[in-house]
Structure 1
Amino acid sequence: MAKSEPGVIYIGHLPHGFYENQLKGFFSQFGTVLKVRVARSIKTYRPKGYAFVMFANREVAEIACRAMDGYFMYNKILVCKMVPPEKVRPNMFRKFVKIPWKKLEKNRRALPLTEDRLKRLKRKQQKRNKELEAKLKRLGVSFTLP
C-alpha cells in the first residue's frame, strides 16, 4: 500500500471565535488533522479571517473541502479551496510569534536623548509647525507657532 501524501485546504471567511482549537476539533470529524494555521496580524495578533488545515490524507482533504465550501456558519459562508502541493510552502504552518510591541516601544523611549537625536526631533517638530502654519494661512487664519 502506497503512502498517501498530506492535503492542505484553505478556509476563508472564518467567523469570529472559530480559531485553531475549534478548527482542529471541527475538521477532525473528516479525518486526521496534522496542522492548523490561522493567519494573524503581526501587530495586533487578531485573526485575518482565513486559515489553512493540513490533513494526513489528500483524499480526506478533498472531501472536507467539498463538504465545507459554501457552509453557513455563524452568519458567514465559508470558502474552502484545495491548496495544490506545489503551493504548500515549508513555513506555511510555522508557529506564530507574537512581537512584544509595547515592550519594544518602552525600551526605545527609555534610550538616553543624545545630541544627534535631539536635533532630529527638533527638525521634525519645526517641519510640522511650518506645515501647520501653511495650512492655517491657506484657511485665512494668521497664527504663528513658537
Structure 2
Amino acid sequence: MGTKAKKALKKKSLKRVNAINNKPSEHAADFLSLEGGPGRKLPELKQLENSSPVLYIGRIPHGFYEKEMEAYFGQFGTIKRLRISRNKKTGKSRHFGFIEFESPEVAKIVADTMHNYLLFEHLLQVFVVPSEHVHPRLWKGFNYRYKPLDTL
C-alpha cells in the first residue's frame, strides 16, 4: 500500500469518526474510545434523598455513650442511626454525636425538647442539621461499638 492510499484511508476514517462524534445527542461522551467509535456513557450517580433529618448533640457528659443514648432517645421514637465521635487513638468520647430518627417530626420534637436539657451537670446542645450540610461520610463506622479495656 502506497503513501497516497494510506493518507486516503486515514482521511476516510477521520471523516467517519467525526460523523459519529458530531451526532446530536442528549449526553456528551465521558471519554473518547481508542477505536474511533463513540465514547461509552458512564452511569449517572443519583443522590439519595434522605427525608429523615440528622440531629447534632453536643456537650455529651462522660458515661453517656451509645448504649445509654440509644435507650434514652429511644423513648421519643425509632432511631435509624446513632454515632458518637471518638478519638481515633484512645477511643475516648469527643463529647458530641449525631442521631438520625425514622420520622422528621420526631427529630424536630427531640431538638426542641432536649436543647439546653441538664444531664449529669451538662447542658445538652441539640440542633437539627439541614440535609445539605450532612457530609456523605458522616455515618461511616456508625455501627462500631467501642469496648473499653477496663470492662473485659
Partner of 1:72: 118
Higher helix share: 1
Partner of 1:38: 84
- Which of 35, 49, 52 matches 1:6? 52
**TM-score (ref. length: structure 1):** 0.61
- Secondary structure of the residue aligned to 2:88 is coil
Aligned residues: 95
Identity of aligned residues (%): 36
Structure 1 residue 84 corresponds to structure 2 residue 133: no
Q: Which has the larger radius of gyration?
A: 2
Alpha-carbon offset, residue 95 of structure 1: 1.1
The whole-number CA distance in structure 2 between the counterparts of 1:54 and 1:43 is: 26
Letter in 1 for 2:73: F
Structure 1 residue 16 corresponds to structure 2 residue 71: no
- Secondary structure of the residue aligned to 1:61 is helix
Partner of 1:134: none
Alpha-carbon offset, residue 82 of structure 1: 0.5
- Which of 5, 29, 35 matches 2:75? 29
The whole-number CA distance in structure 2 between the counterparts of 1:15 and 1:36 is: 16
Listed as ranges, the gaps of 5+ residues in structure 1 are 99-146
Listed as ranges, the gaps of 5+ residues in structure 2 are 1-49, 146-152
Structure 1 segments of 4+ aligned residues over 6 angstroms from their partners: none
The whole-number CA distance in structure 2 between the counterparts of 1:22 and 1:90 is: 26
- Secondary structure of the residue aligned to 2:138 is coil
The whole-number CA distance in structure 2 between the counterparts of 1:7 and 1:57 is: 8
